[in-house]
Structure 1
Amino acid sequence: MFINSTGYYIPEKRIDNQYLAQINDSTEDWYVKRTGIITRARANEGETVNYMCIEAVKSAIKNLPYDIHEVDLIIFGSYTPSDTISTTAHVIQKEFNIDKAKAFYISSACSSAVNGMEIIKSFFETNISKRALLVCADQNSQYSNDHDRESGHLWGDAAVALFFSNEEISSNDSKVIDVITRGLGNIGKGPDGITLNPKVGIQMLYGKDVFTNACIYMSEFTKYIIKKNNYTIDDLSYFIGHQANKRIISFVCNELGICESKSLTNIETLGNTGCASAPLVLAQNYDNFKSNDLICLSVFGGGYSSGTCLIRKG
């Protein structure tokens, strides 16, 4: 399958370390050393998940090589949806009047985007769909607590949109070579590692377990997909890891032997944007990729779950 166009929406507001240091009796440097985060993107009251997703789709439409009404599959990935009944997939279908499209919502925490890609790939291979739209977003600030010293400083808000086709449409399309995912609910603390109860908010009660398993499985999945498709780590042009913690990304790159110049990140300025995370980095850098660049996305989500995909730029 092929990526035809990408787009995104990032709120302008930023929450800096100075603010968090003041309310938590800590230091700005403590946050940088612990996570690599300097500022976090923060949505305002009107920048709901629905709003951010619609704006991300508008951004992607600008370079779409076909009419959006050709889309026959809309998948929305999130763990902080604006509504769990009237899903953002259906809101987008209405906003852009995309008739005759299947539309639904998925969630496997921060692995949702790669899971969405795998679903799209399956729909294409079975001729159920030919054009697909994947939109991922999280408004973590709805549920995060700035006073939570364990994880309140991690979260950011953003949305990303990617259009896919079952065949190459233009020379600018990028080929998705392979996608693999796996549920890891039986590993470590599993479902207890990271939780979001609407009445309590986002909690990471076992941060060390999350950190350890993210490092293990992002590395393992990347090695596997590279070998499976007859490449080597040296063949990679860029690596995009889940933007959860800069130290996790650094550990994975060191484990894989990927030089820092090949690792693309946005966590320093945006924080952990959840489901949008890795594909958001892809979208932000998409126009800078050169023909035949080989890009690997590797993600890890609460639950736990993990996934990796290989992309060749057109």
Structure 2
Amino acid sequence: MYIHAVSHYFPSEVVGNEHFTRLNGLSSEWITERTGIRERRKAAPDENTNTMALEAVRRLFDQTAIDPSQIDLIVGATYTPYDTIVTLAHVVQHNLGVPDIPVISVSTACSSLINAVEVVEGYFAMNKATLAVVVVSEHNTAYNNETDTVSGHLWGDGAAALLISKERISDEDMTIHTIITGGAATSGKATTGVMLKPLEQGVLMPHGRDVFINACLYMPKVSLQVLEKHNLTIDDVDYLIPHQANLRISLNVINTLKLPETKLLSNIQKLGNTGCAGCAIALSENRSLFKKGQNIVLTVFGGGYSFGAMLVEV
């Protein structure tokens, strides 16, 4: 399985930490020290989960000679949908104009990217598809309560898209070697650690410490598992892209794995927590940095709880 192209989009409006200082008295230094976040992006009034996803997909096809009519699978991922019936993936299908193909949207909170790619892996294995678009998009600020001093300052908006093929299309394609995912709903305060109940309130994180502890446990663990499955060790890793939830979590993960900070790719400092889009945005942003033969591990953790990792070779 191969990543033929990857793209990203985030809104133009920048919201600095000073906004939250004015709103609820949280200092910029306090936010940065605890989260690593200096600023985040906010969707414009005419933007939403779907519009950001469509822009990411448009940029995706700008990178390739592949015509959208060749796509035979679309998988979308979000926990902040614009429409809960006409899903993110259906909107992408409508926009691309490709009829009568499998169209699926998944949600495993912030780990949805890896689950979406795993769905593609399954369709490829069953010979039900050969060329897929995976699109991840989050409009966190639509659901967020900015006045919440616990988590209101964490969230940003953005989207990314991947064009994944069963067979290699070009020499520039990145190989997906191994994917492992799992649910951890029996761990800690999984079902109450992070919640979003749209009919009741915005995003809540009443047990942030428990989320932190479990994220720091599961992301290193599953990262080592994908390496072991491919007979690699941590020394073979060139870059690690962890879920962009908190810079302190990311640093804890690389310290646990005994990786130098130079191998950590992070965008939370400028984008905030962009949910399941964060890792894919980082992969796209740093595409020109990667060299042939390098190994990249993407590792994720989401509310609920859920986890996963994917080994990619350039």
How far does residue 65 in structure 1 lie from its aligned partner after superposition? Answer: 4.1
Match in the other structure for 2:140: 140
Matches within 5 A, 1:131-210: 131-198=131-198, 199-210=200-211
Q: Aligned with 2:213: secondary structure?
A: helix
Listed one character per residue, the Cα deviations across residues 176-233 of structure 1 (whole Å, up to 9, x for unaligned) are: 0000000111111111111001130100010000000000000110111112211111
Report what 2:116 is aligned to.
116
Correspondence list, 1:208-287, <5 A: 208-287=209-288
What is residue 99 of structure 2 aligned with on the other side?
Answer: 99
For 1:9, the equivalent position in structure 2 comes to 9
Structure 1 residues 264-312: Cα deviation after superposition (integer angstroms, max 9, x where no partner): 0100000000010111100111132111111000000000000000000
Residue 288 of structure 1 aligns with which residue?
289
Structure 2 equivalent of residue 298 of structure 1: 299
Q: Which residue of 2 aligns with 1:28?
A: 28
8 Å Cα contact 1:13-1:42 kept in structure 2: yes
One-letter code of the match for 2:183?
Answer: G
C-alpha distance in 1 between matches for 2:308 and 2:63: 27
Q: In structure 2, the residue corresponding to 1:268 is in which secondary structure?
A: helix
| Separation of aligned partners in 1, 2:65 and 2:106 | 26
Q: Secondary structure at the match of 2:191?
A: helix
Distance in 1 (alpha carbons) for counterparts of 2:10 and 2:292: 27
In structure 1, the residue matched to 2:81 is 81
CA distance in 1, matches of 2:108, 2:204: 16
Partners of 1:183 and 1:12 lie apart in 2 by 35
Task: Say whether the 8 Å CA contact 1:296–1:308 is kept in structure 2.
Answer: yes
**What amino acid does structure 1 have at the position aligned with 2:298?**
L
SS in 2 for 1:100: coil
CA distance in 2, matches of 1:283, 1:290: 14
Q: Which residue of 2 aligns with 1:57?
A: 57
Partners of 1:258 and 1:68 in 2: how far apart? 39
Q: Is the contact between residue 76 and residue 88 of structure 1 (CA under 8 Å) also seen in structure 2? A: yes
Off by >4 Å, runs of 4+ in structure 1: none
CA distance in 2, matches of 1:3, 1:228: 20
Q: Which amino acid aligns with 1:249?
A: S
Change (3 A) 1:278 1:132: same
1:125-157 residue CA offsets vs partner (Å, 9 max, x unmatched): 110110111000110001111111111111000
Residue of structure 1 equivalent to 2:308: 307
Does structure 2 retain, via aligned residues, the 8 Å contact 1:65–1:170?
Answer: no
Q: Which residue of 2 aligns with 1:66?
A: 66
Amino acid at match of 1:268: Q
Amino acid at match of 2:215: A
8 Å CA contact 1:238, 1:262 repeated in 2: yes
Contact 2:26 2:149 in 1 (8 A): no
Identity among equivalent positions (%) equals: 41
Letter in 2 for 1:293: Q
Distance between the aligned counterparts of 1:152 and 1:302, measured in 2? Answer: 16
Structure-1-length-normalised TM-score: 0.98
Q: Give the aligned residue type for 1:39.
A: E
RMSD: 0.9
**SS of 2:123 mapped into structure 1:** helix
Between 17-26 and 162-171, the greater mean CA deviation after superposition? 17-26
Structure 2 residues without counterparts, runs of 5 or longer: none
**Count of aligned pairs:** 313
Q: 2: CA distance between counterparts of 1:26 and 1:98?
A: 48
Q: Which moved more, 1:39-48 or 1:97-106?
A: 97-106
Maintained 8 Å contact 1:2/1:165: yes
Deviates more, 1:92-101 or 1:31-40: 92-101
1:109 Cα deviation after fit: 0.3
SS in 2 for 1:275: helix
> SS of the counterpart of 1:281?
helix
Is 2:50–2:82's contact at 8 Å kept on the other side of the alignment? Answer: yes
Which moves more between the two structures, 207-216 or 42-51?
42-51
